Amino acid sequence: MARLLQIVQLGHPVLRKRASAVEDVRGGATQSLIDDMLATMEDASGVGIAAPQVYESVRIMIVSSYPSIRYPHAPRMAPIPIVNPEIVWASEEVEKGWEGCLSIPGIRGLVPRNKRIKVKFVTREGKVGEREFADFVARVFQHEIDHLNGIVFTDRLETPLDMITEKEYMKIVS
C-alpha cells in the first residue's frame, strides 16, 4: 500500500544536491518509492514530483498533466514514472510560462523553458524509453529534471520581477 510522504521545503540541502542514478530499477525499494511518489503527488494536486522532493536523492520523477484551476489549459495525461532521465534534444524555441512547486508553496514564477524536448529514460519495468514532449508537458519534465540536478524553478527566473504570490497568480488565471 502506497504511503504519503512528506514534501521537502526550499532550504533543505537535498533540493540542492545532484541525485544519484538508480541501479535496481525493478527492485522493491524503487517500486515502493514510485508508488509513494505517485500517491504523494496526487494528494498534493501536483503535476509532477521528483524523488529529492520526498527526501530521496535518486533520479526518479513523475510527470503528469491535467486541467485544473492552476493550469486550466493543461492537456490530460496519465502520470508517467521516469527513472534516470536525460534530455537528448531540446528545441531552440523557448517560451516563458508560469510555474509553481510543491517545495516552494505560495510562490509562482515566469520561467523560460524549451518548447519541445526529446527525452530518454528507463520505465519502472526496466525498459529504455524515448519520447518527445511539447508545451506544458515539456515544461513539467524540465522542471522535474531540474530537481534531479539540484535546481529549483526560482534559479531559472530572468528577473525577480517574474516572481509573484499564488494569490496574485490565481487572479491572472481566473
Catalytic residue among 86, 99, 130, 144: 144
Left, alpha or beta for 111 (phi > 0: left; psi -120 to 50: alpha)? beta
Active-site residue flag, 93: no
The CA distance from 21 to 122, in Å, is 11
The residue type at 153: F
Q: Extract the C-alpha cell encoding 130.
A: 524515448
Active-site positions?
144
